[in-house]
């Protein structure tokens, strides 16, 4: 009798000790990993080229002004503070009907008092081939009147985990009568 009680006590103690160790393990805040354990082998450099359709007019607009800031004499020319939400198509060629490779989702806002300088905060969401579902995040300045604008790629998801790079934007066409624009993007990205 006394023997079996002491056996039970031992078992309870062992179970308690194990659960304590498991809890201690699961509560560890950080650990060191090898890159290989996440499947990260060699970093590579890729170049992507596509066309961004900023459609502001008509019933199928994909760029919609969501905030119009109070105008002052100082900001009238640049629309300082205006915010546009976009879900713009990205296509393989400059025609709107050419193959869709992704979308640019996010916002741009006029962030410069004295010239046309936009703050771009957007994600490219790709649908093409093996990149389907992977994203790249862009956060940068877009002085739209310059011939070439450079914006940093600050990260990504899916095939673009741990990515970094830059995007070069060139206006391909701008329709003066309705404000629609087609912008060529060349994107250079380091990823695994």
Ligand X SMILES: *[C@@H]1O[C@H](CO)[C@@H](O)[C@H](O)[C@H]1NC(C)=O
Q: Which residues bind ligand X (CB under 6 A)?
A: 30-32, 57-60, 73, 127, 132-133, 175, 177-178
The nearer residue to ligand X, 35 or 132, going by C-beta atoms, is 132
How far is it, in rounded angstroms, from Cα 126 to Cα 146?
Answer: 27
Least distance from ligand X to the Cβ atom of residue 74, Å: 8
Strand, coil or helix: 41 = coil
Least distance from ligand X to the Cβ atom of residue 122, Å: 20
Least distance from ligand X to the Cβ atom of residue 150, Å: 27
Using alpha carbons only, give the angle 149, 150, 156 rounded to the nearest 5 degrees: 135
Least distance from ligand X to the Cβ atom of residue 15, Å: 28
The nearer residue to ligand X, 4 or 177, going by C-beta atoms, is 177
Least distance from ligand X to the Cβ atom of residue 29, Å: 8
The nearer residue to ligand X, 141 or 172, going by C-beta atoms, is 172
The nearer residue to ligand X, 11 or 179, going by C-beta atoms, is 179
Q: Are the beta carbons of 12 and 20 closer than 8 angstroms? A: no
How many other C-beta atoms can be found within 10 angstroms of the C-beta atom of residue 141?
14
The nearer residue to ligand X, 17 or 69, going by C-beta atoms, is 69
Of 121, 131, 119, 186, which is closest to residue 161 (Cα–Cα)? Answer: 131
For 98-105, the CB contacts below 8 A with 24+ separation are 98/51, 99/128, 100/127, 101/50, 101/126, 101/127, 101/128, 101/131, 102/50, 102/126, 102/127, 102/128, 102/131, 103/127, 104/52
Strand, coil or helix: 188 = strand
Strand, coil or helix: 177 = coil
- Residue 96 C-alpha from the chain's centroid: 22
Least distance from ligand X to the Cβ atom of residue 53, Å: 11
The nearer residue to ligand X, 90 or 151, going by C-beta atoms, is 90
């Amino acid at each position: 009798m006394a023997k079996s009680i002491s056996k039970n006590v031992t078992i309870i103690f062992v179970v308690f000790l194990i659960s304590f160790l498991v809890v201690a393990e699961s509560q560890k805040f950080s650990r060191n990993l090898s890159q290989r354990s996440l499947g990260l082998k060699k970093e590579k450099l890729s170049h992507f080229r596509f066309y961004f359709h900023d459609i502001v007019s008509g019933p199928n607009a994909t760029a919609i002004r969501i905030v119009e800031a109070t105008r002052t004499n100082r900001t009238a020319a640049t629309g300082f503070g205006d915010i546009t939400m976009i879900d713009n198509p990205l296509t393989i060629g400059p025609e709107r009907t050419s193959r869709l490779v992704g979308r640019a989702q996010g916002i741009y806002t006029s962030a410069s008092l004295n010239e046309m300088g936009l703050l771009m905060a957007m994600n490219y969401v790709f649908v093409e081939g093996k990149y389907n579902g992977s994203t790249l995040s862009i956060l940068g300045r877009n002085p739209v009147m310059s011939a070439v604008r450079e914006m940093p790629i600050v990260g990504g998801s899916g095939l673009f985990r741990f990515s970094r790079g830059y995007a070069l934007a060139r206006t391909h066409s701008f329709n003066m009568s309705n404000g629609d624009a087609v912008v060529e993007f060349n994107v250079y990205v380091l990823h695994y």
